[in-house]
Amino acid sequence: MLTLLGITIFVLAILASIGLHELGHLMPAKRFGVKATEYFVGFGPTVWSTRRGETEYGLKAIPFGGYVRMIGMFPPRPDGTVRSSSTGRLGLLVEQARKESEADVLTEEDRKRTFYNLSVPKKLTVMFGGPVMNLLIAVLLFTVMFVGFGLPAPSLTVANVTPCAPSSATDDGTCQTGELPSAAAAAGITPGDTITAVNGQQVSSWEEFTEELRSVGAGNTVVTVERDGQSLALPVELALTPRPVIVDGEDTGRTEMRPFLGVGPSFVLQPQPLTAVPGEVWDLTVRSAVALATFPAKLAGVAGAAFSDGERDPEGPIGVVGASRISGDVAAADLPSSWKVAQLIGIIASVNLFLFLFNMIPLLPLDGGHIAGALYEGARRKVATLRGQPDPGPVDVARLLPVAYGVAILLIGISVLLLYADIVSPVRIT
């Protein structure tokens, strides 16, 4: 039941994100006078629609994306006609798209309200509107997650005690013959204890606790814990042990000699200050951009896991079905409710951040392709002005439609691969 609830929340949130993305295109388009005839979430057969003024709003059966239909997305040919000028298959496709774009231009008043007649800044505003809406959603949700719930941070409550020093317990949790118990096990520290002091020095965080342990070094010391409302001073004998060097959460592969107590912390959500949000969001944006750049290379691993016995990379790409499944796993996990809500918010925010970055790729049919076309149009007009030449007019992005069709086919293939992989070899979280 909880799994289904998590999946439902994720799907509804993504549909809302798609709707807001398209609204980011629709609002400035209407503000600039462009005639928008359709606003739909989804593709395929229409499930529901209603007309408000000149625009039909509705939902379609396949909830993978959405669109706003604005008249005059592609300009006529330079001679003002939309007749076919090529017997080649791609040429015919271009001319057909041009005709369809002109089909909604019924009057001279409509021609003044076409997208291609907008100025470059207005075209950029309309096309940036969708991706920027996803970015705003991501920033808002990440702010709620970071400030309202927090990030996982180690607490002073002991989650586990390592039985041996070094850790080399047998399967039943006992130490192998000849192995000494860890300092924590020998002192009687147990899971659930809350550490309050080291050698009489009060500590208020896990970082302070580990620093105090380093400062006392090897030998005898006293760790004070709180257990069942009572304060217990437990003598411990610390020994220096090779420990991994961790920098920014990454194992460097190096080790250093440090006192080894043998306790692990439980984690709690620690709310972050509002001032920390920009840095956290920037870090996530950089990581997402790197993941997007390595996306094609990682598809080979997805295919290997889908069509062979290979393991699915948990850090690799997933599709909508995979993200829905993970949302369901989060909802059903044995975690406090606050952790579940925070993680679901984080997943939805991450998807919106990815949608922003993905749509900025400068290829049609993505928004980035239209943005690139508008920027080229602006540069071309600027050069013409400097040379004293006449206005060259809008850029004919229809000529790039063969590229758009190729990209669309590629995206459909990738979507099918991810869908299949998410079903037969899903990414699991713990």
102 assigned to active site = no
Q: Which two tokens stand for residue 26?
A: 């629709």
* Neighbouring residues of 378: CB distance < 8 A, sequence distance ≥ 6: 120
The terminus-to-terminus CA distance of the chain in angstroms comes to 18
DSSP 8-state code for residue 175:
B
User: Cα separation of 184 and 156, whole Å?
Assistant: 14
For residues 278-294, one letter each, b for 16 or more C-beta atoms within 10 angstroms of the residue's C-beta and e for the rest, the string is eeebeebbeebeebeee
Beta bridge partner(s), residue 164: 181
User: Cα separation of 68 and 184, whole Å?
Assistant: 63
- Which residue out of 22, 95, 212, 377 is catalytically annotated? 22
DSSP string, 111-168: HHT-GGGS-HHHHHHHHHHHHHHHHHHHHHHHHIIIIII-EEEEEEEEEEE-SEESS-
User: Cα separation of 150 and 65, whole Å?
Assistant: 31
Q: How many CB atoms lie within 10 A of CB 78?
A: 9
If we measure between CA atoms, which residue out of 426, 423, 376, 422 comes closest to residue 397? 376
Quick one: how many helices (H) and strands (E) in the chain? Answer: 12, 11
Q: Which two tokens stand for residue 314?
A: 């948990």
* Neighbouring residues of 38: CB distance < 8 A, sequence distance ≥ 6: 55, 56, 58, 67, 68, 69
Q: Which two tokens stand for residue 32?
A: 């600039």
Q: Which two tokens stand for residue 335?
A: 């975690």
CB 127 within 8 A of CB 367: yes
Q: Which residues are catalytic?
A: 22
